[in-house]
Amino acid sequence: MSASERLAEGFPDLSRLPVAAQLHWRRWLTAALILVVLAAIGRAFANGQIEWSYVGRFLTVPVILKGISNTMIMAVLAMALGIFLGVVIAVMRLSSNPVLKTVAAGYTWLFRGTPLILQLLLWFNIALVFPTIGIPGIWSGRAVDIMTPFLSALLGLGINQGAYTSEVMRAGILSVDAGQYEAAQAIGMGRLQALRRIIFPQAMRVVTPPLSNEFIGMVKATSLASVIQYPEVLHSAENIYYANSRVIELLIVAGLWYLLVVSILTPLQMLLERRFSRGTLPSVR
């Protein structure tokens, strides 16, 4: 456009005018409404039959601290078992061997198809089916001694988790371009090596958000192990309120601990995601 070209009249130059701040009155209104509702709920609880001093007093008693540490130990170990089984089952499911495929599909079918609490009870009571367990000729023991609450909870939670994790892992593996596997083969990698070195590291980026979700679910699912006497935090809270009848106060104590743990996990997930997004552009991330 030449400098001398004339522009049409009637369109004033707005470039000098400042932009006024927006009022956002709708946001203020909704915020005010929510505050009113929260205040009402808070008042109800403050005036309700809750002794808040008990909540404060029991929040850090040794039994509760031991309980939350047992909760975390169980969540981490059962999740580790779940991820290990999930990877194995996912790889079996994607193999070309029909036997492995069927076994993997059967595993997922069985453990996703029954309630977790039922599985926990079955593991805990396995002595009713097999009074002694062991490896014939090498070692054996009484099932009641071996199937402690800890081991029953670990097996129940971990094996159940494996069924869900395998589907997450399978989706992750399938999300990696088939060309990646071919490129790995072309430099002489076998199937497992290609999975380990090339496919899994890329799948991790996809599976981290759903796996973090699963882990948060696992932290809370450990509370089911209270039915088989595993001393996690809810079980500890229950034991205390059986003695002092402060039911709601101790349930709030347990609830606060779950909230705290889950709040810590969210930034950890962010760290993991950043770790596994190596090589992807910020815009793609």
Which residues make up the interface to another protein (CB under 8 A)? 177, 179-180, 182-191, 193, 197-198, 201-202, 278-281, 284
Q: In angstroms, what is the minimal distance from the CB of 91 to another protein? A: 14
CB nearer to another protein: pick between 198 and 237: 198
Contact by Cβ (8 Å): 160, 79:
no
CB nearer to another protein: pick between 192 and 264: 192
Angle at 221 between CA 217 and CA 226, to 5 degrees: 160
To 10 degrees, what angle do helices 233-244 and 62-94 make?
150
Task: List all residues 6 or more positions away from 256 whose beta carbon is below 8 Å from its beta carbon.
Answer: 55, 59
Contact by Cβ (8 Å): 226, 153:
no
Q: In angstroms, what is the minimal distance from the CB of 276 to another protein? A: 8
Q: In angstroms, what is the minimal distance from the CB of 262 to another protein? A: 29
CB nearer to another protein: pick between 121 and 272: 272
Report the candidate in 259, 260, 173, 210 with the shortest Cα–Cα distance to residue 79: 210
Rounded Cα distance, 36 and 16, in Å: 42
Query: What distances in angstroms separate CA 26 from CA 23, 30, 209, 272, one per listed residue?
Result: 8, 6, 33, 37
Q: In angstroms, what is the minimal distance from the CB of 80 to another protein? A: 23
Q: In angstroms, what is the minimal distance from the CB of 105 to another protein? A: 23
Angle at 225 between CA 216 and CA 113, to 5 degrees: 75
Query: Which token pair is 216?
Result: 């948060």
Q: In angstroms, what is the minimal distance from the CB of 192 to another protein? A: 9
Q: In angstroms, what is the minimal distance from the CB of 182 to another protein? A: 6
CB nearer to another protein: pick between 193 and 244: 193
CB nearer to another protein: pick between 202 and 222: 202
Q: In angstroms, what is the minimal distance from the CB of 221 to another protein? A: 32
CB nearer to another protein: pick between 132 and 280: 280
Rounded Cα distance, 104 and 94, in Å: 9
Rounded Cα distance, 232 and 249, in Å: 17
Contact by Cβ (8 Å): 234, 158:
no
Element (H, E) at 139: strand 139-142
Three-class SS state of 5: coil
CB nearer to another protein: pick between 150 and 276: 276
CB nearer to another protein: pick between 44 and 187: 187
